[in-house]
Structure formats: C-alpha cells, structure tokens
Structure 1
Amino acid sequence: MPRKPVARDAVLDAFEELLIGVGERAATLDAVAKRAGVSKGGLLYHFPNKEALIAAMLERLDSLAGEDIALMAAAPEGAATYFIRTSLWSGSPMDRSFLAASRLAEVAHVEARRRFAAIQQQWLDLIAADVGSGMAKAVLYMGDGLYLNAMWEGGPASSADGRQGDVEVLLAAVERLRG
C-alpha cells in the first residue's frame, strides 16, 4: 500500500529548510529524515538517494514557477509590474523553493542552474512583451536586486513592509521604461 503523500511533502519541505538554513553539504539524508520526522527508511521509500530528492525538489520549483508565470502572463497591470511587486520575500512556497534551489546552484549543481535559466527566460519573455526586449533585463535586474537586497539585510525573516517604498520607486521606473 503506497504511503501518504503527506510524508513525501514533509521530506521535501525538510530538505528545502535544510538547504536554506545550512546549505547543500549539511542537508544529508539523515538530517532530512530527522527534520521531517520520518525514519531514514521512510525517506528512502520516497527518495532512494539524494539526487532523487533534488530532482523532486526541482520538479516542485518548476510547478510553482509555472503557476507564477501563468499569473504573471494574466496580470492586468502587466508582467513587469507583477514581477516587481512579487520580488519581495513573502515566505510563499515559491520563495522557499526558489531559495532552496539557489543553494544548489551556488554549488554548481548543473540541473538547478538549467532550471533557473529556463525560468528566467520565461520571465524575460513575458517582461519583454510588456516593456520591450531592450528594457526587459533592466526590469528583471530591478526585481532580482530588490529580492537580494532584502535577503542580505534580513534574510527570509525580513519584512516586506520596509521595502514597499522601494517597490514604488521601481514601479515608477518601469512606467518610464514603458514611456
């Protein structure tokens, strides 16, 4: 009888938490099982090795990014405005998945880097359709800078409230780019 998907999700959540908190090397299968509250055998039932765990986490990232990209494409305010507004840490599943995968990319995990490049290209395509291809990277870098500066100043625990003024300044810049 198959195990409940809840255990699988708990393992993925624990893996993401460890990647974010202590990095890839410390996110061992033993540490993940302990954090998830499952036996190592329970973890291995779902993920026979660390690469299988990484693959599942990257699939989760793709799924969450796909949902976000669909919202971005449908945003009445335009893709560029949507991208800037959503470039603040909110603690969402997308934020956690994105940050965890970035920890893999930091250690040159090829598949994580490939997935990031694919997601970024989709963002760029939507932003370019909104503000033009010449300005799309400027918007992308604005959002990335907003996100990274918030992370450097306070990490995932930082409040988005203190960054709202920055968001408004960047949105005014986006309107000038559209001009």
Structure 2
Amino acid sequence: MSRPPKARNKALLAYCELLRRDGERATTIDAVAARAELSKGGVLYHFPSKEALAEAALEEFRLSCEQDLASMAEAAEGPARHYVRTSWTSGSDLDTYYIAMLRLAQSSWQPAVEALEWVHQAWLELIQEEVGDRYAAEAIMLIGEGLYHHSSMPGEWSRGTFARSVEHLLELVDHLKRS
C-alpha cells in the first residue's frame, strides 16, 4: 500500500482543487486546511500565506510545463500531433496546475498571467518550428484548446463526440502540417 501524501502536498493539492471549484476568493487558508484534512497550523507551517500557496502552485506549474515541453519536443509523432493528442487528457499534474494558474490569472495575479503567456508561446513555437507556418500552428493550438475545453465539460456529448473524433482531428493536423 502506498503512503498517503505528505502534509505539504496535501495542502497544495487542496489549494488547487479549491481554486478550480470555488475560485480564488473562496480559497482561504481555513478552506485549504479543511479540504486537506489538516489543521490550519499544519497548512501555515508549510505555507505562511495564500501568496505562498500561489507561488508553490506556480513553481509546480512551471515544472510540469517544462516536462510537457520536453515530451512534446521529443515526441516521435511530432510536437503538433502530441499537443493535440495530449490536450484531450485531463487529471494530470499539468492539468491541475494549469487550471490553478487560469483561476489565479482570472483574479489578476500577474505571475500567473505571465506563466500562462510563457507556456502558450512555448507550445506555439514548438508547433510552428515543426509546421513552418504561424497560422497553421495557431490553428493546431486551437484544435488542442477546444479538445481540452470539451474534455472538462460534464456530460456524454463532450466525451463521446470528441473521443471518437480525435483521430480525425489528428488527420486534420497532418493536413495543416502539409499546407
């Protein structure tokens, strides 16, 4: 049996889950402690403020992005197809921290805005390097973003319709790469 996550990780994941579900204003230290099943003092031991929680989430986001960019650059199928194929995946560490950064950016936290701009630009550059055309690269990114958006929506329509069409969308990616 695996060991339960350490208190720091539990608090950080609880923070991200609360950001996703309730937004930045409702994500208080007390709420994080309750969600993580820790005492408030236990959370404050690792994160003396909400800002410290946000900074830790930002660091984890950057690490997850660097791993994703490396995987994307090394993917045998190429960065464009890899981007679209993995856009459908939710529940990963990258997804957890990406949503946290989106919610923090929506509340005007500038480091989150800058981190999101950085990773979107890095994804675009990898795809553009492969396909050779900025507009084709942007279209490929929009395909991936649409898949990501729909994968997070409730209901069968999103999962069923797009799950069946990912391979067709990858054929469209191949077409855009040749254009």
TM-score, normalised relative to structure 2: 0.89
Aligned ranges 1:49-60 → 2 under 5 Å: 49-60=49-60
Q: Deviations over 1:2-61 (max 9, x none)?
A: xxx811111001001101111111110110011111111111111111111100001001
Q: Which moved more, 1:78-87 or 1:33-42?
A: 33-42
Q: Deviation of residue 72 (structure 1)? A: 0.4
Aligned ranges 1:143-154 → 2 under 5 Å: 143-151=144-152, 153-154=153-154
Aligned ranges 1:45-124 → 2 under 5 Å: 45-124=45-124
> Partner amino acid for 1:127?
I
> Partner amino acid for 1:167?
V
Q: Which moved more, 1:129-138 or 1:107-116?
A: 129-138
CA distance in 1, matches of 2:95, 2:148: 10
Aligned partners of 2:90 and 2:151 also within 8 Å: no
Aligned partners of 2:16 and 2:100 also within 8 Å: yes
CA distance in 2, matches of 1:37, 1:149: 31
- 2:87 is paired with a residue whose SS is coil
> Partner amino acid for 1:148?
H
Superposed CA RMSD in Å reads: 2.0
Residue correspondences, number: 173
Unaligned runs of 5+ in 2: none
Aligned partners of 1:150 and 1:158 also within 8 Å: no
Q: Which residue of 2 aligns with 1:139?
A: 140
Q: Which moved more, 1:90-99 or 1:114-123?
A: 90-99
Aligned partners of 1:89 and 1:160 also within 8 Å: no
> Partner amino acid for 2:137?
A
**4+ residue runs of structure 1 moved beyond 4 angstroms?**
157-162
CA distance in 2, matches of 1:59, 1:10: 16
- 2:90 is paired with a residue whose SS is coil
CA distance in 2, matches of 1:34, 1:69: 34
> Partner amino acid for 2:146?
G
TM-score, normalised relative to structure 1: 0.89
Aligned partners of 2:150 and 2:158 also within 8 Å: no
